Amino acid sequence: MLRQVRLFLVLFSLCLAGLGGVANARLTDRQSEYYQGWLKSADRAEAVIEVNRASNAALENLRSEIVGYREDFNQARGANTERIQTLESQIKALGAKPEGDASEPEDIAKLRKHLEEQLNDLRVPRIISEEAYSRANGLISEIDQIIRDRQKKELLEKGPSPINPVYWRPAWVDVKEAAHSLTNEIVENLRSDVVRERIRERGLGIFALLVLSAILLIYGKYWSERGGDYLRRLGGSGTGVWTFVISLLRIILPWVGVSAAVMAISLTGVVGLRGALLLENIPFWAAIVFFYDWIGRQIFLMGAAHDFKRLSAAKITELRIYIDLLAVMLILHELADLFEQIENISDATRAVVSFPVIVATALLLLRVRHIRANDIQQDQNDPNASTRGAGFSQLVEFLRRALFLLGITTPILAVFGFTNAAEAIVFPAVRTLVLIAGLVIFQRFISLVYGWVTGQGEAARDSLFAVLVGFALAILALPILAIYWGARETDLLEVWSRLLLGFDVGGVTISPSNFLTFVAIFAIGYTLTRLLQSGLRNSLLPKTSIDPGGQNAIVAGSGYVGVFLAALVAIMVAGFDLSSLAIVAGALSVGIGFGLQTIVSNFVSGIILLVERPISKGDWIDVNGMMGYVRDISVRSTRIETFDRTDVIVPNSDLISGVVTNYTRGNTIGRVIVPVGVAYGTDTRRVEAILGEIANGHPMVLANPAPSVVFQGFGADSLDFEIRAILRDVNWVLSVKSDMNHEINRRFVEEGIEIPFAQRDLWLRNPEALHAASSSSTDKVKPPQAPPAKPSSDPVAMTESDLDVDGGDEM
């Protein structure tokens, strides 16, 4: 409340200054008083830092005070920004002040002086706030450094060795005295009349709390199961969602019962100071026990559901026992810390008391690591092991190695007297291990809910949504892990405050607030753009006479414009000042021009295709020897579906700079040419009449212009004719050509018109010479008494020069 009052005073005084409430450039009385208070606090903080003798608690209190001032100055240094910009614009509108002996009109001079006074009155508080903010940041950093140095020194400090028998008896005496003191406090309080009177007055409430505690502890699990039966009626049976909810109820209800019992005991007043401190921690310790037992039970259930395929049921049960024992070790550690705070024991006693807990915890971590030791060889021999989640297996293997290192290191550190270091390693390791298990379990639960809602079932656990949920949970767990491993809450708050202030990129300040604003506005604009495109594509444009290509161009163009406007509006609303990035953008444009010229060329070509529309979606085109239908025109490329039902991706620049044949540009009318040949001697006029009848009889052929039959000429084998007809839809050209060929064949058979085919006669040149050469060759090989071979039966060896091929026509 006090800080809010101070902030109100600062802002109020700044508003008064912005309205011209002061005549010269100085702080108001309230601002001056507040600033003087800050100077005293800053001077005191500097003196404390220089001496470096204050306790950590005192330093934390001083730091909290300085943080309050810093937040006020942070608010003040950004106040009246719009008013200052307005005054600067007004002064700029007056023009530059005359130089030398030149003077300006009196009215303009008075106005300029008045505006400059107002501007100075607004700038002075901001300048002072900026200086005070920087000083506060420096003081906070120095205090944090002092506390961190002390923590580091304490962590590395070497104390008494717990294995020295000299310290065992004093430690045992300290423990007995603490237990005896606690018992004496309770006995004395029970004998006190004040406590008896309090019990009589509050007896009914105490009795009700105890009854409630007993009921929840005894029937809590049963009621959880009954509640689960009711929840399963809502649906989702078999998905595991309600099983998870029931498991939470099984630990929440007993924990409430423990809290009720603690409250009842507290109302009696029988516990003294030591008992009260113990009693305050019992709900927290009970939460540890219940939560760790819940983790073990969930692991068992996940093993039953075959999520842990490498662990048998016996090993999962063993792991569950180890997790419960680790919870007990954490409670004993907390009890040892409380013992040190209450009794103010020596370092030797503290080391002796903590040593068994450290060793037992380290051994349990080693046992947890050993659970999968026998399964590693099976995984190596299993050919399907690589398909069972390599990322999770790598994480498990890393944890196993870390547990082995911690289990060996921490007892050694404790033996040599580094008790603080051992405790700072082994117990955070336990908490980290359980936290990771909890994140895995919770991520699985969210995936189950997602699978139930979307109807994907178990497949949702391998979806992108499950991965994103796991990533988000890991990010949210980072502050918890930092606290586990020694970070202070003030350190995290400091990081968060620095993050909120943002960081500078090329003169543009980017903070989570304006970044989230940009994302939200852009997401809204992008969604509206998609809705507009959907409405145009499905509702509005189909009712117009615009062809499908034009509709696609309008839809695509509206998408580009909508995304651009969404980004522009998001930048303006988020408050990004992109003027300082002009030089950087100019330099980047040169690099883009050289390095991405092909992409830019395709992008510009895509815009030209959408605007000029030489081709449209659904057109039948031929480009670079590839023929097919245009299925999609995007920013960079165009997708063509060939007649083989394959997709060909063509860069847009090829469609603009190359030669493209568009068979259906503007309309689907096209020509079909059907060639046919007839034998020599056939009546050509009769053939022309038959072909004309066939062309005019096809329903796809247009009557105007009428089809024509052309006598092309005298071919080598036939008289060549062609049917040339205009089709109402050129997309049917192959079907029309096939139909006409069938009809031509049928009519020619009926009319007795022959369709010739080419024939060839083979002539041997100089057969006598070939016969003589064959005879001479035979005489050299065979004996002289052999009879001469007959010319007609001797094989003839021929070369290409011996062949004379003449074409012969047979009709």
Q: What does the mean pLDDT of the chain come to?
A: 79
Closest-CA residue to 266 (of 247, 279, 283): 279
In this predicted structure, the answer to whether residue 674 has a pLDDT above a threshold of 80 is: yes
Residue 577, pLDDT score: 64
For residue 466, what is the enclosing H or E element? helix 464-484
For residue 231, what is the enclosing H or E element? helix 203-232
Other CB atoms within 10 A of residue 129 CB? 23
pLDDT class of 28 with cuts at 50, 70, 90: low
Residue 612, pLDDT score: 75
For the stretch 151-191, pLDDT in tens is 888 888 888 899 999 999 989 998 898 888 888 888 888 88
**Which range among 260-269, 274-283, 303-312, 642-651 shows the weakest confidence by mean pLDDT?**
303-312
Does the predicted model carry a pTM greater than 0.75?
no
Of residues 11 and 685, more confidence is placed in 685
Other CB atoms within 10 A of residue 270 CB? 19
Residue 2, pLDDT score: 39
CA distance 333 to 353: 9
pLDDT class of 355 with cuts at 50, 70, 90: very high
- CA-based R_g, the chain, Å: 46
Write down the CATH number for the domain with range 613-665.
Answer: 2.30.30.60
Residue 385, pLDDT score: 46
CA distance 722 to 536: 47
**Which range among 148-162, 339-353, 782-796 shows the weakest confidence by mean pLDDT?**
782-796
Residue 284, pLDDT score: 92
Q: Which two structure tokens, joined as six digits, stand for 738? A: 């096939």
Q: Which two structure tokens, joined as six digits, stand for 567? A: 């980004």
pLDDT class of 360 with cuts at 50, 70, 90: very high
Q: What is the mean pLDDT of residues 270-278?
A: 84
**Which range among 31-40, 196-205, 733-742, 756-765 shows the weakest confidence by mean pLDDT?**
756-765
Residue 800, pLDDT score: 35
Beta bridge partners of 764: 803
> What DSSP line would sit under 191-214, residue for residue?
H-HHHHHHHHHTHHHHHHHHHHHH
Residue 504, pLDDT score: 64
- Long-range contacts at 745-752 (CB < 8 A, ≥ 24 apart): 747/690, 747/693, 747/694, 748/678, 748/690, 751/686, 751/690
**Which range among 107-116, 331-340, 677-686 shows the weakest confidence by mean pLDDT?**
107-116
Biggest CA–CA distance in the chain, Å, is 155
Q: Which two structure tokens, joined as six digits, stand for 707? A: 């089809």
Q: What is the mean pLDDT of residues 229-254?
A: 76
Q: Give 144-188 as a 3 state SS string.
A: HHHHHHHHHHHHCCCCCCCCCHHHHHHHHHHHHHHHHHHHHHHHH
Residue 259, pLDDT score: 92
For residue 676, what is the enclosing H or E element? strand 670-678
Q: What is the mean pLDDT of residues 531-554?
A: 82
In this predicted structure, the answer to whether residue 809 has a pLDDT above a threshold of 50 is: no
CA distance 561 to 519: 18
Residue 744, pLDDT score: 93
Please compute, for residue 140, the number of CA atoms within 13 A of its CA located in the half-sphere on the CB side.
22
> What DSSP line would sit under 33-97, residue for residue?
HHHHHHHHHHHHHHHHHHH--S-HHHHHHHHHHHHHHHHHHHHHHTTTHHHHHHHHHHHHHT-PP
CA distance 679 to 672: 23
Count of residues in the chain = 811
Write down the CATH number for the domain with range 670-757.
Answer: 3.30.70.100
How far CA 152 is from CA of 156, 157, 262, 628, in Å, comes to 6, 8, 37, 73
Q: What is the DSSP letter of 790?
A: P
Q: Which two structure tokens, joined as six digits, stand for 246? A: 């029931």
CA distance 610 to 604: 10
For the stretch 462-483, pLDDT in tens is 777 888 888 889 889 999 989 9
In this predicted structure, the answer to whether residue 438 has a pLDDT above a threshold of 70 is: yes
